[in-house]
Amino acid sequence: MTPQPAIVDSHVHLWDPLRFRMPWLDDLEPLRQPFGAAEFVEHARGLAVEQVVYVQVDVTPGYGLLEAQWAVSQAPLVAGVVAWAPMEDGEIVRTFLDALVQLGPRIKGVRRLLQSEPSLDFLTAPELIAGLRLLPKYGLSFDICIRHHQLARTIDMVRACPETQFVLDHLGKPSVVDLVLEPWRQQISQLAEFPNVVCKISGLVTEADHVNWTLEDLKPFAAHVLSAFGENRVLFGGDWPVVTLAASYRRWVETLDQLTSTLSPIARQKLWADNARRIYRL
């Protein structure tokens, strides 16, 4: 590895399946166990991880506020929290957001998973747009978690919310396993034209062949995002522990280090730490 800058990981999950109900783990036995702060520290041993941003883990909605409260308590490792919120409730979501920000200054953003919505129309529904437009009033960003086939509608969603800070998770989940670059590449370029969107370089290995992925498989996807968004709008994300389905945390850090080895020292520092600190106001 080249000399590794300090790391602020913009995308970490922590959980205990016995604390909050997470139905999506029912069929994922490797992840159906506690992954807490102590386990993360062990997996990141020897790496210069200074802070992490906790991202909601799709607990059943009844636990949403409790999850955020618990995440805030995971300081000092957790410097910021991206909490769940029912954004599709439109103006009514104010009630939830009011309670959320009362949990303290570590609440930095919200995420309402969009990747599994069966209808593309969900992304541009008037109620969702109304909810997203409220976020700047609360000083909160929105993490976009979609799959690549939803990118066109995501562009429409972002266009309708010019004041909202958006963070694209996992490069929009391109089809790395099949090495399908278009129309993902062209749509990422379109999305990057909006100055209120940044992109996490995260989740790439879990979109690839979990067993046989190579650096070359990932290279065109990482290179395009770096080019499209530029050095000020890309953030490192570990996606731990989901990443462990395809790589150890260390292996993903070392892989991204190789993929970005030609960046200038300043650009590398922005990717690995500074941009996350700025976007999430850590």
Could you tell me the domains of the chain? 7-279 (3.20.20.140)
Tell me the mean pLDDT in the region 71-86.
Answer: 98
pLDDT-derived band at 5 (thresholds 50, 70, 90) equals: confident
| Distance of alpha carbon 165 from alpha carbon 140, whole angstroms | 8
Q: What are 226-259's pLDDT values in tens digits?
A: 999 999 999 999 999 999 999 999 999 999 999 9
Q: Comparing C-alpha atoms, which of 64, 108, 66, 38 is closest to residue 281? A: 108
Does 2 score more than 70 pLDDT?
no
Q: Residues 230, 188: contact at Cβ < 8 Å?
A: no
Tell me the mean pLDDT in the region 119-131.
Answer: 98
Q: Range with the lowest mean pLDDT among 3-17, 209-223, 268-282?
A: 3-17
| Residue 15 structure tokens | 């959980």
Percent of the chain with pLDDT over 90: 98
Average per-residue pLDDT for the chain:
97
Percent of the chain with pLDDT over 70: 99
